[in-house]
Amino acid sequence: MKLNIISIIEKKKLGQALTAEEITFFANGAAKHTIKDYQIAALLMAIRLNGMTREETVNLTLAMANSGEMVDLSPIPGIPTDKHSTGGVGDTTTLILAPLVAACGVPVAKMSGRGLGHTGGTLDKLESIAGFRINLSMADFISQVKRIGVAVIGQSENLAPADKALYALRDVTSTVDSLPLIASSIMSKKLASGAQGIVLDVKTGSGAIMRSLEDSIGLAQAMVRIGTDAGRRMVALVTDMGEPLGSHVGNALEVKEAIDVLHGRVTGPLLHVSLALGSYMLLAGGVAQTPEQAEAMLRDALTSGRGLAKLREMIVEQGGDARVCDDVTLLPQAAFIGEITALSTGYIHSMDTTALGNAAQHIGAGRREKTDRIDYSVGFVLHKRIGDYVQEGEALATFHCKNESDASDVTQILREAIHISPEQTQPLKLIHAIVEAEHIVRL
């Protein structure tokens, strides 16, 4: 029987499961623009209201992945691995764990995205390094990973075109908050990117897509199941985004912090989460048997300087100025730098992480639209975390702005987003759960 979109919409409207053939017909129609936007929107709403089975979600992911280019990483020796974050603020783990993991013998073939909205993008951070090229041909990408074990590039425009079509409509039809649609969107690009070992960093809290812990765990399990059913080695860590992960927010500032971590000058939450994610990448890559063994390998790569050397090597290979690894002042510098002070005495009780990300975007570190130009030098450095004591007049943060007006704006936004209470508050837990296809460990 010939498939048609009306009957597929009708079926899902009534809460029935769609076949793999029906889902593939829908995904291909979205990618090739042979199905009208209003019909796609109708099916998206039916999916949002009635959900999808595990099998449907896997089939939708595979159909979207296969709607465009499927990257073949088989020429790379070993098990190519990747890490994906659902998006955060001050989250510079890729720049730390990618060179560390590669230095431990697991190839890291990573395709990253740009920042949009309140979350930062790895590509924007890397492009704050003078000359760094994020656009490599697939042949050059694979060749670089074979030579030095690591490359981080932009996603191909031909990657999962069905997802691009659906994503654009989800945003304007109030269907963004559908677990199967979120999971299939993320995983279609990961599967198309070709990595065989995939570690997911699923955020939870005030700066996350899913703000409740249970919703974040549900998303993590859905994505892990999709990847497992597609034959990939999968695990997800649910990590906290109730405050920025690192202290530095803004592209060049975050690169500086990553370099400081790899030099051994900075420890704390950013390093802790990077090591945890990196450990599971070593497990997926088959070079370690336990998380404890894997973390010991990563710490050795850190203390020996092999991780920093690998970052330097990657920057050179991709045309960047690797001198930044030894002199961070070569990164873009803001013209206007000053302190944001606390207006009261007490403990840092909570932070509106989305507002903090939006503050960085407002002063030029991020984009409202994909075509917006970024100022790589701007952002801010937080001096306090949740649970810390602060006195009135003490510095909460240091702003890096292009002018005094932006400095005034970011000062007001940060004071409103960082909540001080007279009552003592406990620091946030960094990692809440480790999620596998049929097993969840709550920490």
Are the beta carbons of 258 and 268 closer than 8 angstroms? Answer: no
pLDDT score for 117? 62
* Distance separating alpha carbons of residues 351 and 250, to the nearest angstrom: 17
**What tokens were used for 142?**
């694979």
- The predicted-structure confidence for 405-424, as pLDDT tens digits, reads as follows 999 999 999 999 999 999 99
Instruction: Tell me the CA distances in angstroms from 254 to 57, 160, 415, one per residue in order.
Output: 35, 29, 21
Average pLDDT over residues 368-392: 91
- For residue 278, the one-letter residue type is G
* Distance separating alpha carbons of residues 185 and 217, to the nearest angstrom: 17
pLDDT score for 208? 85
Looking at the DSSP bridge assignments, the partners of residue 237 are 201, 434
- The predicted-structure confidence for 305-324, as pLDDT tens digits, reads as follows 999 999 999 999 999 999 99
Decide: residue 349, CB within 10 A, 0-12 exposed, 13-18 middle, 19+ buried. middle
84 is an active site residue:
yes
**What tokens were used for 81?**
């691995």
Q: Is 133 helix (H, G, I), strand (E, B) or coil?
A: coil
Residues above pLDDT 90, as percent of the chain = 88
Per the residue annotation, which of 91, 163, 201, 352 is the catalytic one? 163
Task: List the domain boundaries for the chain.
Answer: 5-51, 81-156+170-326+432-442, 333-421
pLDDT score for 407? 97
**What tokens were used for 239?**
């990590």
For the structural domain made of 81-156+170-326+432-442, what CATH number should be given? 3.40.1030.10
pLDDT score for 355? 95
Per the residue annotation, which of 118, 189, 225, 432 is the catalytic one? 189
Mean pLDDT (the chain, rounded): 94
User: Higher confidence at residue 259 or residue 113?
Assistant: 259
* Distance separating alpha carbons of residues 112 and 129, to the nearest angstrom: 16
pLDDT score for 370? 65
**What tokens were used for 316?**
């050179």
pLDDT band at 2 (very low <50, low <70, confident <90, very high): confident
pLDDT of 176 higher than 90? no
* Distance separating alpha carbons of residues 357 and 252, to the nearest angstrom: 15
Q: What is the end-to-end Cα distance of the chain in Å, rounded? A: 51
The reply to whether the predicted model has a pTM over 0.95 is no
Per the residue annotation, which of 84, 114, 190, 225 is the catalytic one? 84
pLDDT score for 371? 73
pLDDT score for 24? 97
212 is an active site residue:
no
pLDDT of 302 higher than 80? yes
27: Cβ contacts below 8 Å, ≥ 6 apart: 60, 63, 64, 67, 162
For the structural domain made of 333-421, what CATH number should be given? 3.90.1170.30
185 is an active site residue:
yes
Instruction: Tell me the CA distances in angstroms from 392 to 52, 320, 340, 389, one per residue in order.
Output: 52, 43, 11, 10
* Distance separating alpha carbons of residues 206 and 216, to the nearest angstrom: 12
Which runs of consecutive H residues, i.e. helices, occur in 1-137? 5-13, 20-32, 37-50, 54-65, 93-103, 122-126
163 is an active site residue:
yes
User: Higher confidence at residue 60 or residue 443?
Assistant: 60
**What tokens were used for 151?**
């490359």
For the structural domain made of 5-51, what CATH number should be given? 1.20.970.10
Angle between helices 291-303 and 93-103 (to 10 degrees): 100
299 is an active site residue:
no
* Distance separating alpha carbons of residues 443 and 231, to the nearest angstrom: 27
- The predicted-structure confidence for 90-141, as pLDDT tens digits, reads as follows 999 999 999 999 999 999 999 987 766 667 789 999 999 999 999 999 999 9
* Distance separating alpha carbons of residues 156 and 188, to the nearest angstrom: 13
Task: Decide if 81-156+170-326+432-442 and 333-421 have a common fold.
Answer: no
CA dihedral 296, 301, 302, 307 (to 10 degrees): -140
- The predicted-structure confidence for 199-241, as pLDDT tens digits, reads as follows 999 999 988 888 899 999 999 999 999 999 999 999 999 999 9
